[in-house]
């Protein structure tokens, strides 16, 4: 009898609620076990059950599990590997619960009211529950007088608008929904980097955009006073920039903030003008990616990339950072020399959505013919048009259903790169490596062997950017060195990586010295 290619096993843990971060960690731990081809840790909510069913774990497997029950599921090479992976997932869940409880005898709170009783001095509530319940919990936090970091997504636009209207009336902030990053008075929330305190305040409707500019300011010795992530839809007409305006007003009045840096993907122009109008006494820079022309108030300037925005903010507080393109042209020339002439296209595999969008803008302006996730969301499937440069945001929802975010687990990127990047037309593999709290403990260590294999025997060049601060737990210098040791071209900023990729693909080294 032949041996089956895999076994599928699951385990239901009753009455064990886990927020999205804990689920992602448990999924990542199981995925990394030997012999595992797929793993997922989900709550058995209707959407969770649907995602499990898509992977073959239907009603007959998870039975009567309900919204407060945790389901661990794996596909593995054999029974032993499957059970070991399930055990590792359960251990990860219980270890996190133990860490959160600490040495205290008090049981973890099961309601916002109980949490406030246990921590009466708290000023911020982090809400990370399934989207169906997120708005209700955020309202409970506002009723308790707390600012809210709403990490959850799948919150409707109507719920978001009502939450932010109410928060505005109460003089509170709702950061989110889908707010992955904030740093308040030196304390990082969500996916945050270990950045130093300093005079620049950041307001961002873009998670990795906030991380990029704050990490650059840290590495240049500037630092940030606060990083306030307001959620990707805040500057839309539906929301009207309520929280961005409130955040700018707060920073404008903050004695520790000497300059304000705003970051967003394309906003509503009318809303963007209203937000910039809140800067009454503090000089400001706005990087509204994809919006290059906008009438701004006195004391406010526009920047076209995250790099130039951070540079301008640094100069406002008296710091002139070092050149970001130093040494890149020489490496690009070497990379071009190593390529067969057929190799002319770029493949980008990003974990940061804002970094991916910025790269699409830069490469699209320089080379044209860029293909991204957006056609996928419009039900236009790959393959891309011939000769297209394909840049994908692997943190987008179509890639993360039932899988951990690529910042936490690089497994999906490894699969895609091995499947696609050795195409004989590919000149450059372009990627980001995001460090910080909540990210994988050694992303470069996981990626480097595969990247080395991709570049071997005349394969494409790899251009990488490490988004991180000097004191991030993964070690910024160590992560860069791991990639450089296998031959990657590692740039100083995310924008520089896009320029370098475009220069190699087009055989035009002078592109590396451009500055949008």
Half-sphere exposure of 493 (CA within 13 A, CB side): 29
What average pLDDT does this structure show over 456-481?
96
Least confident of 299-308, 408-417, 434-443, 457-466: 408-417
Q: Whole-angstrom Cα distance, residue 349 to residue 112?
A: 38
Residue 63 has what pLDDT? Answer: 80
What average pLDDT does this structure show over 267-282?
94
* pLDDT of 19 above 90: no
Q: Whole-angstrom Cα distance, residue 71 to residue 17?
A: 10
Taking the CA atoms of 440, 444, 448 and 451 in sequence, report the sign of the dihedral they define: positive
Closest to 259 (Cα-Cα) out of 228, 282, 226, 227: 282
- pLDDT band at 81; cut points 50, 70, 90: very high
Determine the topology of domain 111-178 in CATH: Rossmann fold (3.40.50)
Q: Where in the sequence of the chain do the CATH 3.40.50.261 domains occur?
A: 179-322, 328-513
For residues 503, 508, 509, 514, the Cα torsion angle rounded to the nearest 10 degrees is -70
Residue 46 has what pLDDT? Answer: 81
Residue 268 has what pLDDT? Answer: 94
Q: Strand 36-43 to strand 70-76: parallel, antiparallel, or no bridges (unpaired)?
A: antiparallel
Residue tagged 């707390």 (tokens): 146
Highest mean pLDDT among 48-52, 181-185, 370-374 belongs to 181-185
Q: Where in the sequence of the chain do the CATH 3.30.70 domains occur?
A: 7-101
Residue 5 has what pLDDT? Answer: 62
* pLDDT of 252 above 70: yes
Residue 445: other Cβ atoms inside 10 A: 15
Model pLDDT for residues 164-218, shown as the tens digit of each residue: 999 999 999 999 998 878 999 899 988 899 999 999 999 999 999 999 999 999 9
Instruction: For the domain covering 7-101, report its CATH number.
Output: 3.30.70
Residue 2 has what pLDDT? Answer: 44
Q: Average per-residue pLDDT in the chain?
A: 89
pTM: 0.85
- 328-513 carries CATH number 3.40.50.261: yes
- By the 8 A CB rule, do 481 and 464 touch? no
- pLDDT band at 97; cut points 50, 70, 90: low
Model pLDDT for residues 115-159, shown as the tens digit of each residue: 888 888 899 999 988 778 899 999 999 999 999 999 887 899 999
Homologous superfamily assigned to 179-322: Succinyl-CoA synthetase domains (3.40.50.261)
Residue 380 has what pLDDT? Answer: 47
* pLDDT of 47 above 70: yes
Residue 446 has what pLDDT? Answer: 93
* Radius of gyration in angstroms for the set of CA atoms belonging to the chain, rounded to a whole number: 23
Model pLDDT for residues 288-334, shown as the tens digit of each residue: 999 988 888 998 999 999 999 999 999 999 999 999 999 999 999 99
Q: Strand 124-127 to strand 147-150: parallel, antiparallel, or no bridges (unpaired)?
A: parallel
* pLDDT of 27 above 90: no
Collapsing DSSP to helix, strand or coil, 16 comes out as coil
Collapsing DSSP to helix, strand or coil, 347 comes out as strand
Q: Where in the sequence of the chain do the CATH 3.40.50.720 domains occur?
A: 111-178
Residue 270: other Cβ atoms inside 10 A: 12
Name the more confident of 215 and 407.
215
Helices (H), 144-241: 157-170, 207-219
- Tokens encoding 233: 């839809």
Q: Whole-angstrom Cα distance, residue 389 to residue 346?
A: 5
Model pLDDT for residues 438-457, shown as the tens digit of each residue: 888 999 999 999 999 999 98
């Amino acid at each position: 009898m032949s041996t089956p290619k895999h076994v599928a096993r699951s385990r239901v843990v009753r009455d064990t609620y886990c927020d999205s971060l804990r689920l992602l960690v448990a999924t990542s731990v199981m995925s990394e076990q030997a012999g595992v081809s797929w793993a997922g840790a989900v709550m058995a909510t209707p959407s969770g059950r649907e995602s499990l069913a898509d992977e073959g774990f239907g009603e007959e497997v998870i039975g009567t599990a309900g919204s407060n029950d945790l389901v661990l599921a794996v596909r593995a090479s054999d029974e032993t590997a499957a059970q070991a992976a399930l055990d590792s997932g359960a251990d990860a869940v219980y270890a996190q619960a133990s860490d959160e409880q600490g040495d205290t005898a008090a049981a973890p709170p099961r309601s916002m009211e109980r949490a406030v009783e246990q921590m009466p001095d708290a000023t911020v509530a982090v809400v990370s529950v399934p989207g169906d319940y997120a708005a209700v919990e955020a309202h409970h936090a506002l009723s308790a007088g707390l600012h809210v970091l709403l990490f959850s997504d799948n919150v409707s636009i109507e719920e978001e608008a009502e939450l932010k209207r109410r928060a505005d009336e109460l003089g509170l902030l709702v950061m989110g929904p889908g707010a992955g990053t904030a740093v308040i008075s030196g304390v990082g929330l969500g996916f945050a980097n270990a950045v130093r305190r300093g005079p620049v305040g950041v307001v961002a409707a873009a998670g990795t955009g906030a991380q990029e500019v704050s990490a650059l300011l840290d590495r240049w010795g500037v630092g940030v006073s606060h990083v306030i992530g307001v959620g990707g839809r805040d500057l839309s007409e539906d929301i009207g920039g309520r929280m961005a305006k409130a955040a700018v007003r707060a920073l404008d009045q903050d004695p520790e903030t000497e300059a304000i840096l705003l970051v967003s993907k394309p906003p509503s122009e009318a809303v963007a003008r209203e937000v910039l109008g809140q800067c009454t006494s503090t000089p400001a820079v706005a990087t509204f990616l994809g919006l290059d022309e906008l009438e701004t108030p006195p004391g406010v300037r526009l920047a076209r990339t995250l790099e130039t925005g951070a540079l301008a903010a640094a100069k406002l507080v008296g710091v002139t950072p070092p050149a970001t393109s130093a040494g890149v042209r020489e490496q690009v020339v070497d990379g071009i020399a190593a390529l067969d002439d057929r190799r002319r296209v770029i493949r980008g595999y990003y974990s940061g959505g804002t970094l991916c969008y910025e790269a699409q803008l830069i490469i699209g302006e320089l080379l044209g013919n860029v293909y991204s996730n957006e056609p996928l969301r419009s039900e236009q499937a790959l393959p891309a048009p011939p000769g297209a440069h394909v840049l994908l945001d692997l943190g987008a929802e179509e890639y993360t259903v039932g899988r951990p975010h690529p910042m936490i687990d690089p497994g999906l990127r490894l699969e895609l790169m091995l499947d696609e990047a050795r195409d004989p037309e590919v000149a450059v593999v372009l990627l980001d490596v995001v460090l910080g709290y909540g990210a994988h403990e050694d992303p470069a260590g996981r990626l480097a062997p595969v990247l080395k294999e991709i570049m071997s025997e005349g394969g494409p060049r790899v251009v990488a950017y490490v988004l991180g601060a000097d004191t991030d737990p993964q070690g910024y210098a160590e992560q860069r060195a791991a990639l450089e040791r296998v031959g990657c071209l590692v740039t100083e900023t995310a924008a520089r990586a896009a320029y370098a990729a475009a220069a190699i693909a087009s055989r035009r080294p002078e592109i590396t010295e451009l500055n949008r």
